[in-house]
């Protein structure tokens, strides 16, 4: 997932990460970066040729972002549910976008839409060495055996 430039600039990074962590997801990779154009084009390659492609690339490269890898049962679905619908006007109250965003172009966070895309995106932003496997003592209270 990516806390986009609007989330970072608005000081919502901590709140966004907190909500995902409180959900029971575990961070195994986390860093602040500035995405360059080449990386943005790889990340948004699926949208190349669409009318909004240039604005996506321009926006994601406009300021620092926080990228993260989360782990947990059905992590992609859990993140997407916590984040809310892409269009904040349609996002439920209690979701990140429903509570903090008002426009689709400034919707605070990118969340992978499938496990397959999550793997591709993780590999774009994190080397294997930057992903840390670790045991969390609270897992016994979050996960069933």
Residues taking part in catalysis? 110
DSSP 8-state code for residue 45: G
Helix/strand/coil (H/E/C) assignment for every residue in 76-119: HHHHHHHHCCCCHHHCCCCCHHHHHCCECCECCEECCCCHHHHH
Residue 66 · residue 30 · CB < 8 Å:
yes
């Amino acid at each position: 997932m990516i806390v986009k430039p609007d989330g970072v600039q608005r000081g919502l990074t901590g709140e966004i990460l907190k909500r995902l962590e409180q959900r029971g997801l575990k961070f195994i990779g986390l860093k602040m970066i500035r995405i360059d154009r080449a990386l943005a084009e790889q990340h948004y390659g699926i949208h190349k040729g669409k009318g909004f492609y240039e604005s996506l690339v321009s926006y994601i490269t406009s300021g620092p972002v926080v990228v993260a890898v989360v782990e947990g049962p059905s992590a992609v679905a859990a993140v997407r549910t916590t984040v809310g619908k892409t269009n904040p006007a349609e996002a439920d109250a209690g979701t990140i976008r429903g509570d903090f965003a008002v426009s689709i172009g400034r919707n605070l966070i990118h969340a992978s839409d499938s496990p397959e895309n999550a793997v591709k995106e993780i590999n774009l932003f994190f080397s294997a060495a930057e992903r840390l496997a670790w045991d969390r003592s609270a897992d016994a209270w979050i996960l069933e055996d």
